[in-house]
Amino acid sequence: MRDNQDQIAVSGAPSPALDDTPARLRFRDDAPFESPIAPLADFLAGGNFAAVRIEPGEDAHELVPHFDRLKLVEIAFPKFRDGRGYSSAAVLRQAGFTGEIRAAGDVLVDQIGFMRRVGFDSFAPNKPLDPKVVKATLDRYPYVYMKAADGKVPVWALRHG
C-alpha cells in the first residue's frame, strides 16, 4: 500500500507567487537575473523567456533541450515537506545546467544545506532567514559523505585519495 499523506497535503497547498525579484539569499558570483519568470507550460509553448518556474509534479527533464536560453529555474516549494523540488534541482544539475536554480516558497533554514548539495544556489523563502543562522547552519558540518552537485569532496576521498 502506498502512503499518499504528503502528496495529498501538498496538492491542496497554494504555490508561492511567481517571484521576479532577485533571490533574498544567493550563492552565486554573477549578477542576479531580473526578468519575468514563466510558468513551465508558457515557457514550453515557445514564449521568449529566459526564466522558468517548476511546480511540484512537473518534469524538469522537459527543460534539458532549452538550457541554451535559460538563465534561471525557480522551483516552487508550497510546503517544506514536499521533496520533489530536490529531485528537480538534481536532474537539472546532472544534465549540465549551470544557470541559477532558486528555491521559492516554504524554505526553512535547516533545508538550505541539503538544497545546496543538490544544486540550489539561490533562495526566495516566504519568511526572511537570518543570514547569521544560515551561515552557522552551513558551517556546522564541514565534511560530506557522498558526491553531489555542490562539488564537495567526500571525506573518504580526503582520507584515501
Q: Where residue 56 sits, what CATH number does that domain have?
A: 3.40.50
Give pLDDT tens digits for 112-135.
Answer: 999 999 999 999 999 888 889 999
Q: Is residue 112 part of a domain?
A: yes
Provide the residue range defining the domain that includes 134.
25-159
Share of residues in the chain with pLDDT > 70 (%): 85
Confidence of residue 54 (pLDDT cuts 50, 70, 90): very high
Please name which of 54, 32, 56, 35 lies closest in space to residue 43, comparing C-alpha atoms: 54
Q: Is residue 7 part of a domain?
A: no
Q: Is residue 147 part of a domain?
A: yes
> How many domains would you assign to the chain?
1
Assessment of whether the complete model's pTM goes beyond 0.85? no
Q: Is residue 154 part of a domain?
A: yes
Sign (positive or negative) of CA dihedral 105, 101, 32, 109: positive
Confidence of residue 144 (pLDDT cuts 50, 70, 90): confident
Give pLDDT tens digits for 23-51.
Answer: 588 989 998 888 899 999 999 998 889 99
